[in-house]
Structure 1
Amino acid sequence: MASVKKDNRLTSSQSSVCVGFAGIFSKTITSPLEVVKIKSQVGTFHTKRGLCQSFMLIYQHEGLRGFWKGNLVSCLRLFPYTAVHLTTYKKIVDLHMDELGFISQWRAIFAGGLAGVAAALVTYPLEVAETRLIVQNCREPTYIGVVHTLSKIYRTEGLFALYRGFSLTVLGAFPFSVGCYAVYMNLDKLWQEPPFRFTPLQNFINGCLAAGVAQTLSYPFETVKRKMQAQSARLPHFGGADVHFSGMMDCFIQVIRNKGILSLWNGLTANTIKIVPYFGLLFICFETCKQVCLYRNGYIVSPLSYKLTPGVDQSLGPNELEEVKRYLKNRNFGSGGSSFGNRW
């Protein structure tokens, strides 16, 4: 998957703010496509006539607010998910890294899959809440807000309901990792040059390709997972799912038997369209936020420019740079020491 490269000129808190802001902004802008995708996966009546008609029906029945249902819980889920994913990924990579600090691409992608499963385990109840909030009609809500959704599911359906369908996350991680691996193993053939020479635009295209292939391969597992998250005997129309089932295998069988095997990819169009603006906004927002932080740290002359501040050692970390500045400020340089001072 596409990722942003770590910049040691940012503090850890600044990096977290940049990633969080970029994630929240990109998720919020692409929320209407996410709503249509999840409704298509569950099989609500809004999505029976194609992508464009789905937007019209949602707008007619729920208004503009209907396109941002569940966005708050999705954004809240971003922070613990990212923290657990990065921590787990780093620990797994450290275990498989050789004495020279290298790790094979396959092992790195596999580590990413395991880290994703670990992060999903921690944040899965929030994903269930997101699905329930999106599937319901916001003008006749069963759930009101994140806390109310989680507490009501727990009180009426038990703890197991908050993890219903989690096994599909584990199963879907394998085709997802295979899809990423298949793309990244052939990128040098696509661009006809080694990966270390890829430009930011090439890396962006690579991320979109990997996301498209990986999500397409794992999509049937996500479709069944969303149906399981949405279905409940305590909700009107069993939560709006287009088939009623007793478990994971029964859901697969009923969907294929009643709707055809291609229905496992319902909502794939909206999901595919979402990939490019999502990653594009993610990168743009991250870079914009990073520019502001680099300017505040003193590395560049303006937050609107990539021009480096003259005389500033770009290899120094923010704290090291501040220490150097304080040291030079406190020293009383004479004319003999001006040549050293001019470098800063």
Structure 2
Amino acid sequence: MTTPTATTTTAATRASASARSSDAPSLTFAAIARSLIAGGVAGGVSRTAVAPLERLKILQQVSSSSAYNGVYSGLSHMWKTEGVKGLFKGNGANCVRIVPNSAVKFFCYEHMAHGLLDLRRTFDKDAEMDVLTRLGGGAGAGIVAMSATYPLDMIRGRLTVQKSAADAAKSGGANYRGIYHAFTVIAQKEGFGAFYKGWTPSVIGVIPYVGLNFAIYETLKDQTVKMQGLRSASDLSVFAGLVCGGVAGAVGQTVAYPFDVCRRRLQVSGWVQAGVQAGGPVYTGMFDCFRRTVAEEGVSALFHGLSANYIKIMPSIAIAFVVYDQLKIILKPEIKISAG
């Protein structure tokens, strides 16, 4: 015979399990679509807002020219030599890449973080969302999103640093006319393997970068909610979200930056139309790139462009997280990361 106490306990257990399962992301088509839209829009808005600084960072990473030293002098040089278009050169390709990348990254993070939490709860039923779980979810999401859109990143990098049309004509070459033209030319002349040049350091770099971004951002939000006595993270002000995102972006980028430099150099390695590295070194791989860069230019070369990137990445990551959170409130994709 079942006692009232046992019945009550069983009901409570079921209610607790139901509450926990309700935290898990919804997999309905509508929820998936809304989540992907929120992530894609967040990525496009954030990257366009900092496009001039993004291009300056790449030029500093692969160029030995002093014209790009410093944020103000570098932006001024681009403005004087190429005008407004120069400031946003390559941004179209960047948005084509970042929109699906951001959509997949945010979507995968939500599911991977909850998947890891569910796995932990098979061993510890009282396990809660913590920094390590978020770090693992972010790292996994970063790898999937980066790998899925890497060819677009490679093309974007080349469009960003290629010579001006006049210089290309003088050297007997021709510029890529756009994303599709770049894709066909690279495939014909270099093979499809060229689209994944620099992939290895990218994978290694994206693990701490995206992992730390999500882990620090979500953890800082939780702590801020507790400090301000709010009901949930959705009650946080936009300013508080921007601060949390800025801190997360700065920490993640500092750790992963040398791998980003290596990735860019490998992407333009041996490519004669690179206006900043024509006739430059041809690297055999990631380790050769690191070794030669340090030997020939010093350790500081692995951090070329980091100052410009701090100015870029902090608002970029902050805007992306805040736009995503706000769109989730508007679109209600039924996906959330909770502390429980």
TM-score normalised by length of structure 2: 0.71
Give CA-to-partner distance per residue, 1:167-200, whole Å, 9 cap, x none.
Answer: 0012113443675588569859986956984633
The letter of the residue matching 2:194 is A
- Count of aligned pairs: 289
* Structure 2 unaligned blocks of 5 or more: 1-24, 167-173, 335-340
2:13 alignment counterpart: none
Cα gap change, 1:220/1:149 in structure 2, threshold over 3 Å: closer, same or farther? same
Cα gap change, 1:274/1:261 in structure 2, threshold over 3 Å: closer, same or farther? same
1:245 alignment counterpart: 283
1:208 alignment counterpart: 246
Alignment of 1:161 onto 2:194 = yes
- Aligned-pair identity in percent equals 28
Task: Verify the 8 A CA contact 1:44 1:240 in the aligned structure 2.
Answer: no
* CA radius of gyration, larger in: 1
Question: 2-side partners of 1:275 and 1:121: how far apart?
Answer: 21
Task: Verify the 8 A CA contact 2:139 2:208 in the aligned structure 1.
Answer: no
Cα gap change, 1:272/1:233 in structure 2, threshold over 3 Å: closer, same or farther? closer
1:106 alignment counterpart: 132
Question: 1-side partners of 2:223 and 2:301: how far apart?
Answer: 31
1:146 alignment counterpart: 179
Alignment of 1:70 onto 2:96 = no
Superposed, which structure 2 residues align to 1:102-141 within 5 Å? Answer: 102-140=128-166
Alignment of 1:170 onto 2:203 = yes
* Alignment counterpart, residue 34 of structure 1, candidates 44, 54, 60: 54
* Alignment counterpart, residue 309 of structure 2, candidates 259, 271, 291: 271
The letter of the residue matching 1:65 is K
Task: Verify the 8 A CA contact 1:82 1:119 in the aligned structure 2.
Answer: yes
How far does residue 221 in structure 1 lie from its aligned partner after superposition? Answer: 0.5
Task: Verify the 8 A CA contact 2:101 2:149 in the aligned structure 1.
Answer: yes
Task: Verify the 8 A CA contact 2:138 2:214 in the aligned structure 1.
Answer: no
Question: 2-side partners of 1:122 and 1:44: how far apart?
Answer: 31
Task: Verify the 8 A CA contact 2:134 2:215 in the aligned structure 1.
Answer: no
The letter of the residue matching 1:161 is A
Give CA-to-partner distance per residue, 1:232-269, whole Å, 9 cap, x none.
Answer: 34535785486443322121112112221112111111
2:266 alignment counterpart: 228
Question: 1-side partners of 2:228 and 2:154: how far apart?
Answer: 38
Question: 2-side partners of 1:172 and 1:287: how far apart?
Answer: 25
Cα gap change, 1:178/1:28 in structure 2, threshold over 3 Å: closer, same or farther? closer
CA-based RMSD of the aligned residues comes to: 3.7
* Alignment counterpart, residue 93 of structure 1, candidates 86, 107, 113: 113
Question: 1-side partners of 2:210 and 2:325: how far apart?
Answer: 27
Cα gap change, 1:83/1:138 in structure 2, threshold over 3 Å: closer, same or farther? same
Question: 2-side partners of 1:202 and 1:159: how far apart?
Answer: 44
Question: 1-side partners of 2:220 and 2:321: how far apart?
Answer: 20
Question: 1-side partners of 2:156 and 2:229: how far apart?
Answer: 38
Task: Verify the 8 A CA contact 2:197 2:266 in the aligned structure 1.
Answer: yes
TM-score normalised by length of structure 1: 0.70
Question: 2-side partners of 1:168 and 1:195: how far apart?
Answer: 40
Question: 1-side partners of 2:148 and 2:221: how far apart?
Answer: 36
Moved more, 216-225 or 43-52: 43-52
Give CA-to-partner distance per residue, 1:247-295, whole Å, 9 cap, x none.
Answer: 221211121122211121111111111134324544675688678x67x
Question: 2-side partners of 1:131 and 1:233: how far apart?
Answer: 12
Superposed, which structure 2 residues align to 1:187-202 within 5 Å? Answer: 187=220, 193=226, 197=230, 199-200=236-237, 201-202=239-240
Task: Verify the 8 A CA contact 1:106 1:181 in the aligned structure 2.
Answer: no
Cα gap change, 1:244/1:191 in structure 2, threshold over 3 Å: closer, same or farther? same
How far does residue 211 in structure 1 lie from its aligned partner after superposition? Answer: 1.1
* Structure 1 unaligned blocks of 5 or more: 1-5, 295-314, 318-344
The letter of the residue matching 1:249 is F
Question: 1-side partners of 2:111 and 2:37: how far apart?
Answer: 23
* Alignment counterpart, residue 256 of structure 1, candidates 290, 294, 300: 294
2:102 alignment counterpart: 82
* Alignment counterpart, residue 53 of structure 1, candidates 67, 73, 83: 73
